[in-house]
Structure 1
Amino acid sequence: MKKLLLLVFTLSFINVQAQKKTPEVCYEIFVRSFADSNGDGIGDINGITAKLDYLKSLGVDALWLTPVNKSPSYHKYDVVDYKEIDPDFGTMADYKRLISEAHKRNIRIIKDFVINHTSDKHPWFLEAKKGKDNPYRGYYVWLSPQKIDSMGIATREKTGDSWEINPWHFANQGDSEKYYALFWGGMPDLNYDNPKLRKEIYDIAKFWLKEVGVDGFRLDAAKHIYPDWEAEKCHAFWQEFRQKMTAIKPDVYIVGEVWTSADKVAPYFKGLPANFHMDEGFAIQKIVNNQKDDNLIQKILADYKAFGSQNPDFIDATIIDNHDQTRIGSVVNGDINKMKVAAQLLLTLPGQPYIYYGEEIGMLGQKPDENLREPFIWNTKENDKSRTAWMKPTFSTDATIKPLSEQQKDPNSIYHVYKNLIAFRKKQPALSQVIRPNLKESTIKTEGVLGFIRTHKSGDVLVIHNLTNTAKSIELPANERKFKTLIFSQTPQQKSLKNNTVELPASGVVILK
């Protein structure tokens, strides 16, 4: 009995520790574009280390770095060596120093772990394509053209995460089998029915968690770890993966990229404690652009119900865009006020917000992908030693974006919207809760206004967003007049409510307790 009680206490302690360390605000860095430390024009690991104080001052708790493993591409999502740092970005010593310096500032490092596929130049694939008898053949998915046709899987429809419609490819002229590559022929998918491959991947993960010291993983293409016709196997795989990872590092942080509708994301929470909420991100974009609510809170609550049915302690990783999506600045055609509204929604709704680098200065970007990943603008061109130059930007240029250095001096800049609201969010338990998101509908029904309640045992807060660029004055509904204390507003002169009336600044947010 004593042993059982000790076990229960230990597991509870581990769970509490893991929850304590759950990052509140995360930041995605496209490494090549963020900060250059050596003047070669390419963003690198030491460049990120040099900017840690900036990121800490912004209020960031965790950094998701896009892949840094050795790879032939600029984006590094086609890995050729899972245990080497690409020379473009630095060395393993640089990476370990980044982790050490980040930890000194209580910032966690999340590795982008690309295990759905490798590069076709990876040693495993170079061996596998030699023939059916090669010991690495089973590391990948191979079928004959006849079998592919009989299963009806020769082609697929485009999806948000892959525009490939012909996912089967011959490795060599005259082959009798094709290999499966969901994203393109240069990224062959791995075969997780192969126990040797699973062990390889788990050993690689252990290397990064134990020897290198990362805090967790962002799991690329988590929905596609098995091909679409074997989707049910994905859920079981991620449950096993999580068990293996927590055995190595009990407080490991894991977030999945499952790019699909919320109802199909839900089962992944059985294994993955956090998943990106793509539907919510697109919904925020829509209401910001249209400047009117579209039942956002009802939709989010319905998604929470689905997520919670699979894992009551789910973490809702929220975004307004990322390195694969049109930047919010371009979605709203460069309208700074609309960008501010999007930021305010992201940072006041429940969940664990992810900020894509440059959103805090209003960067722009549309497809093709390179233009979603343009250089961060730190300073005026003549004074910007950190700015990368690996590409010529099309959207985020000196003519379109005020550099960070100037925005830091301007209290009305979008940068200060992010910085001030992150700081405020962290001081309010009702806003900073991540696990088991707390959200309740408001009865405010004014056109162009979105209200919601964040519930908490320390006291609920009422959040009211003005989605329009016109100031509004609204009277609180009778059942929400208990919210009497104004605790946040972008209008300094507004200190309190008068006659239950709230003055909403244009494109602003007011928070009451």
Structure 2
Amino acid sequence: MIKKLIFLLSIFFTINTSAQQEVIYHIFQRSFFDSNGDGNGDLKGIQQKLDYLQQLGITTILLTPLYQSDLYHNYFATDFEAIDKEYGSFKEYRDLILEVHKRKMKLYQDVEMQYVSGKHPWFTDSYKNPKSEYSKYVYYNDKANEKPYYFWDVPEFTTYDNSKEQIILVNMKDPKVKEYTLKVLKYWIDPDGNGNFNDGVDGYRLDHMMDNLDNANKLTNLFKDFWTPLLNDLRKVNPALQIVAEQADWNSYGQEYFTKGNADRVFAFRLRQAITSFDKKKIEKAADSTFLYNPAGKQQVVFIENHDTDRFASEAGMSIGKLKIGAAMNILMGGVPSIYYGQELGMKGKRVQHPTDGTDIPIREAFEWYAAEAGPGMALWYKDTGPWWDNRNIKADDGISLEEQQKDPNSLWSYYKQLIRLKKVQPALAFGDYKTIPNTNDNVFSFTRTYKDEKILVVVNLSGNTEDVMIDPREDYNISNLKLLSGTPNVILPRDGKNLTMTPYTVQVWRFPKGN
């Protein structure tokens, strides 16, 4: 009876928090905050910065993989059941997640279960050893176990620090692999197995999820044969568990992940591509396709940068107006917004072409806590590593630091904080349906969010010029009757009430009177 009560209370707790306005903060933990001075961001460092995340308005933390790996990003495991010691101990992990839940926040964990490092026991024990107990765990192209399937058909690659590594395909059709995957993922949902999820993850991000893995025609029908039964079993443990699938095809809107893959959420890749273009027609098309055809109860994760993409500030340019437009699109359009650590400061970084796995280090640099280039907690794990350090984006006193921006009410950081608060206090921005609103200017994008009797109009000048625009001449409403919630107040409202004159790269957020 007591166990049943704990289980029911746990479900209530999770459902209660999931019903809140959700804003995800995506952390590449090695680069976030270093609590012990070894140069690596860690779990204790994240716990020490929970006040900061709550101050910004974050409700959910998404961590990149924590498990043991020889690679700096931890995506390919040597041990799925161990936490990388540079991130901390299991106790520090448990302390973090308990504190997260104490604050009514949530924690999602990124996992990649489809490949392992060449140093994982499944491979080291089974290579050239068909009698190994792990012989079927790894995908081999021959019976002698001499020809494994390597990621991207690359037998060996060089890491950023000049070591050699291999990435091996896991045989996801093998029943023991399915059993093991379920065991591992169930464990992190409820580590002590008592039915209370207060010490477990609230969701998983499934990296590189595909039905036909890598389109190689070796592991096919994975949605039906692997993912759907696995996710059904995980939801039996915690019915409120959230599954966020990353489409391997970034040109996909992700509908098949909802209808066939059993996911709760996918990433709005096409919308991100459109936003970074600052092209009105592309944004309208992508937004309509992203928001209008979602199955009930499913969500799109809306983002403008992550650990695999160029930083928005480097892609769109360092104009504060452009950066604020990116913020507004990220937070206000709909779906579940996700902010990549440092995005709120306008951190810079572009992926580079390099024959190692260091390609992404420029977009995974240390969070800039201070105006100076270094300071307590700066996670400069890549210091003195050659080109990754020599060409770093961090510069002293360049305005791209938390220390500098928290003092400035007009900073990008202050704007993110304002937008997140606006989303939380305006029901239409929290729960409202998206609708593209026509206007008369090719450089101005406008949309509404509507929930019950609440309606919000957002108008965005995508250009570097002052633009005159008439908002939806077909509709019978007068902008002069609306309340300006956010944006510069120096707009010109002629008597007809449908025209705006917008200064370069500006965003206006208007609230309709209730019932309109």
Smaller-chain TM-score bracket? 0.7 to 0.9
In the alignment, is the contact (CA less than 8 A) between 1:34 and 1:375 conserved in 2?
A: yes
Match for residue 239 of structure 1?
228
The alignment partner of 2:276 has SS state of: helix
Is residue 154 of structure 2 the alignment partner of residue 179 of structure 1?
A: no
Q: Say which of 332, 338, 347 aligns to 2:331.
A: 347
The alignment partner of 1:411 has SS state of: coil
Say if 1:382 and 1:355 are closer, same or farther in 2 by CA, change over 3 A: closer
Say if 1:178 and 1:396 are closer, same or farther in 2 by CA, change over 3 A: same
Match for residue 209 of structure 2?
222
Is residue 260 of structure 2 the alignment partner of residue 260 of structure 1?
A: no
Structure 1 Cα separation of the partners of residues 14 and 99 of structure 2: 25
Is residue 200 of structure 2 the alignment partner of residue 201 of structure 1?
A: no
Q: Say which of 371, 391, 395 aligns to 2:382.
A: 391
Say if 1:230 and 1:19 are closer, same or farther in 2 by CA, change over 3 A: farther
Match for residue 210 of structure 1?
190
TM-score by length of 2: 0.83
Match for residue 263 of structure 2?
272
In the alignment, is the contact (CA less than 8 A) between 1:362 and 1:401 conserved in 2?
A: no
Structure 2 Cα separation of the partners of residues 44 and 109 of structure 1: 15
The alignment partner of 2:254 has SS state of: helix
- How far the C-alpha of 1:22 sits from its partner, in A, is 6.5
Match for residue 36 of structure 1?
34
Match for residue 3 of structure 2?
none
* Offset from partner CA, 1:200-220 (integer Å, 9 cap, x none): 000001110001511111111
Match for residue 511 of structure 1?
509
Kindly report the root-mean-square deviation, in angstroms, between the aligned alpha carbons of the 2 structures: 2.7
Structure 2 Cα separation of the partners of residues 19 and 479 of structure 1: 40
Structure 2 Cα separation of the partners of residues 23 and 485 of structure 1: 24
Which AA in structure 1 matches 2:80?
Answer: Y
Structure 1 Cα separation of the partners of residues 430 and 286 of structure 2: 21
Which AA in structure 1 matches 2:439?
Answer: I
* Offset from partner CA, 1:477-504 (integer Å, 9 cap, x none): 3334525312422225669886414343
- Mapping 1:354-365, distance limit 5 Å: 354-365=338-349
The alignment partner of 1:178 has SS state of: coil
- Mapping 1:98-117, distance limit 5 Å: 98-117=96-115
- The unaligned stretches of length 5 or more in structure 1 are 1-9, 146-173
Q: Say which of 308, 326, 333 aligns to 2:317.
A: 333
Which AA in structure 2 matches 1:179?
Answer: Y
In the alignment, is the contact (CA less than 8 A) between 2:437 and 2:471 conserved in 1?
A: no
Is residue 379 of structure 2 the alignment partner of residue 381 of structure 1?
A: no
* Offset from partner CA, 1:266-298 (integer Å, 9 cap, x none): 1111311101111111111111xxxx4124223
Match for residue 6 of structure 1?
none
Which AA in structure 2 matches 1:334?
Answer: M
Say if 1:499 and 1:381 are closer, same or farther in 2 by CA, change over 3 A: same
- The unaligned stretches of length 5 or more in structure 2 are 1-7, 156-165, 192-198, 352-358, 384-388
Match for residue 451 of structure 2?
456
Match for residue 488 of structure 1?
485
Q: Say which of 258, 261, 282 aligns to 2:273.
A: 282
- How far the C-alpha of 1:224 sits from its partner, in A, is 6.6
Which AA in structure 1 matches 2:287?
Answer: I
In the alignment, is the contact (CA less than 8 A) between 2:211 and 2:220 conserved in 1?
A: no
* Offset from partner CA, 1:69-128 (integer Å, 9 cap, x none): 111111111211112111111111111111111112221111111212111111122222
In the alignment, is the contact (CA less than 8 A) between 1:80 and 1:123 conserved in 2?
A: yes
In the alignment, is the contact (CA less than 8 A) between 1:297 and 1:452 conserved in 2?
A: no
- How far the C-alpha of 1:62 sits from its partner, in A, is 0.6
The alignment partner of 2:205 has SS state of: strand
Structure 1 Cα separation of the partners of residues 428 and 65 of structure 2: 34
- How far the C-alpha of 1:408 sits from its partner, in A, is 0.8
Q: What is the number of equivalent residue pairs in this alignment?
A: 464
In the alignment, is the contact (CA less than 8 A) between 2:253 and 2:269 conserved in 1?
A: no
Is residue 466 of structure 2 the alignment partner of residue 466 of structure 1?
A: no
Structure 2 Cα separation of the partners of residues 502 and 47 of structure 1: 46
- Mapping 1:28-177, distance limit 5 Å: 28-144=26-142, 176-177=146-147
- How far the C-alpha of 1:19 sits from its partner, in A, is 8.7
The alignment partner of 2:280 has SS state of: coil
Structure 2 Cα separation of the partners of residues 184 and 27 of structure 1: 33
* Offset from partner CA, 1:234-273 (integer Å, 9 cap, x none): 3213222221111011111110111325557211113111
Which AA in structure 2 matches 1:240?
Answer: P
In the alignment, is the contact (CA less than 8 A) between 1:14 and 1:251 conserved in 2?
A: no
